[in-house]
Amino acid sequence: MRRFLDQRIKTWKLTVKLSGALVALIILHGCANLEEVRDFSNQSAALAAAPQAVDYWVGWGERSKRFDAILNRLPPKNGIKAEGPVGPNSTLTKPQIEAVKSLHALLAAYMTKLGALADDDLVDVSKQVDGLVTNLDALPLATDEKKKANAAYGSILKLVKLPLNGYRHYKLKELIVENDGSVQQLTNILATSLGSISKFISAEKYSVLSWYDETTRQYPIPANFTSAYQWEKDKRSVVEIYDNKAEAIAAYDVALRKVGEMHHKMAMELSSFNTDSFKRLVGELKVAKNEISKTREEYKAAFKN
């Protein structure tokens, strides 16, 4: 009888310990639902990995060919063929451009790392062991015993998953806190380079529109509706292209700074297991993710031409 009571007491103590651990880990699990962290990181990585504006900076030679069709419609003046606009000089050398691109690539790689670490599939073992539920149902036990077995499986599965999720949360927090200062520097440098690109685009727009005005004076448009309409249409389309790029650059700048801002918030909030603050962070990450995704699509569209 004594041995039986001792065994029951040991079993009870073990159950209490397991229950306490399970409760603690479930609380931690509430903090470790990192789906929005993953999605925000992936969208941020995609944004950083799209340096079309940097390519634009050194692509005037190719872009200037778009005016060939217009030049071909203009008759020679005093035997001299009309010339196209002269684009502004790039303020960066090719090695400097490559250096800026490498910063884009570095930020993209880092955010990709965060996204991978926050991905549910990284530690979701339920997909690997779901078949065990069916196997448990086939056990040669009474119905009540099967229910107990399935309940035990569910508890054990949580105990298997939650420590991994807790470890994932810890490593993610560690990575974010450790690199927050560097991310702030990266996003600020890239945002500053965007300011230089924006000035370059404005200078190019001014150069091209000045060319339109000067060409109009030197090569009067034939006095017919078709020619005049085509000329104005060409000019309006160019203005629209530059304006779209300027807006896209401004939005990209804001989005990059948002990446830095939200990364800093993650560094602050993930340092605590405060469920309420983490829930607020998740909401902010969701909004930021959607804004970044929209900006990235508009940015890509603006720099297609």
pLDDT tens digits along 151-199: 655 555 454 454 556 667 778 888 888 889 888 888 888 888 888 888 8
Question: Has this prediction a pTM greater than 0.85?
Answer: no
Q: What's the pLDDT score for residue 51? A: 82
For the stretch 59-87, pLDDT in tens is: 888 888 888 888 887 778 787 888 889 88
pLDDT band at 250 (very low <50, low <70, confident <90, very high): very high
Most confident of 35-49, 128-142, 207-221, 275-289: 35-49
- DSSP-assigned beta bridge partners for residue 77: 80
Model pLDDT, residue 223: 56
Task: Work out the pLDDT band at 222, boundaries 50, 70, 90.
Answer: low
Closest CA to 278 of 182, 189, 185, 169: 169
Q: Which of 261, 252, 256 is nearest to 284 (CA)?
A: 261
Break the chain into its structural domains and give their ranges: 1-31, 34-123+164-302
* CA atoms of 263 and 177, how far apart (whole Å): 9
Residue 302 token pair: 């603006």
